[in-house]
Amino acid sequence: MYNHFFNLLEWFCVGLNLLFVIYIIREQRIGWLFGIVGSFLSIALFIGVKLYSEAILYSYYVVMGFYGWQKWKGGGASELRISARSVVYHAKFILVCLVLSLGLGAFFNANTDAQKPFADAFSTIFSFFATYLEAQKVLSAWLYWVVLNAFSVWLYFERGLTVYAALMVVYSILSVVGYVRWQKTYETERRG
């Protein structure tokens, strides 16, 4: 049941997670720290509203936050640069993500009181993949986020998480901004 505590927690998590995205768009390592804390606190929120796959996802975000923090620490020649992946690479991962989404959704549908288990599983599994791409500074990560964030607007709003739903609207816009900004950097680095 959604209550005043969850409302306050939701607002706090949204602020931290928004700072995460803003700093990641700017390719600033500190963003990972905001992501770690915001994701850690979001786990309790999602358990409270029975979006268990989202709780798993945000647990993964905590782990990937540490991975991203470590991966982005370079400087000079060791600095991680924005890269691209082939269409075949993406097709393989999309197929794997679809199969895993169906499996996770079926598990939560059969074994828990999860709400929207297949939709929840879809956003969770694909977000695993998009987060990995983001930590690797793969340009197309932002395209996945455009779709995932737009989808999450509906999912969160349906569960009464209106602040998170609004955050996903902002994230959708910021994902486009992130893609454009990283695309320019990618093109500059390829020419240079």
Residue 65 is predicted with a pLDDT of 95
Query: Which two tokens mark 22?
Result: 């803003």
Map out the domains of the chain as residue ranges.
Answer: 4-74+86-191
SS3 content of the chain, % helix, strand, coil (to 5): 80, 0, 20
pTM recorded for the entire structure = 0.86
- Per residue in 2-11, pLDDT (tens digit) is 578 878 888 9
Q: Would the pLDDT of 191 be above 90? A: no
User: Between 94 and 167, where is the model more confident?
Assistant: 94
Side-chain-facing half-sphere of 109: CA atoms under 13 Å: 13
Q: For the segment 13-41, what is each residue's pLDDT rounded down to a tens digit?
A: 989 999 999 999 999 999 999 999 999 99
Cβ atoms < 10 Å from Cβ of 115: 15
CB 105 within 8 A of CB 121: yes
